[in-house]
Amino acid sequence: MLPEVAKTETKEGLEAFVRYWYATLNYAFETGKTERLMEISAPGCVFCKGLRDGVSEAWAEGRWVSGGKIETPAITVNMESGVDPHAVVQVLQGTIEVRKPDGSLYQAPTAASNTGSRAAAAYGGTGWIMTDLGLIR
């Protein structure tokens, strides 16, 4: 459930929203259900759509995902004037295994990762929405 603070146009609100967004992505990996993820992602968020498509493909034809747990241990929010609100996020994700209906591996596992992402968001009448997401290289 979206925390109350995530409904506020504050640094704390954006941080709580970003944590919620990644928790929703984690739920999508665990269940194959991406509807809520897309509700809190702007239509123009290309990376968001790519994640949705990847989860949908992994869960297609009776397949399922094992592992891939996502954690966000560090989030730094920037809401300076003149700059679009965004957060720099440390994203830890465990090894992802896509399994066939019989439990065997569908493809080689995706290795665990520790990456940085820049998550841009906008605040509107319904609260925060993820507008852009990208890896920091």
Secondary structure class of 70 (helix, strand, coil): strand
Q: Is the dihedral of CA 36, 106, 98, 113 positive or negative?
A: negative
pLDDT at 70: 97
* Fold observed for domain 4-136: Nuclear Transport Factor 2; Chain: A, (3.10.450)
pLDDT tens string 59-71? 999 999 999 999 9
Q: How many CB atoms lie within 10 A of CB 127?
A: 16
pLDDT under 70 in the chain at which residues? none
pTM of the model: 0.96
pLDDT at 104: 97
pLDDT at 125: 85
pLDDT at 137: 84
Q: Where are the domains of the chain?
A: 4-136
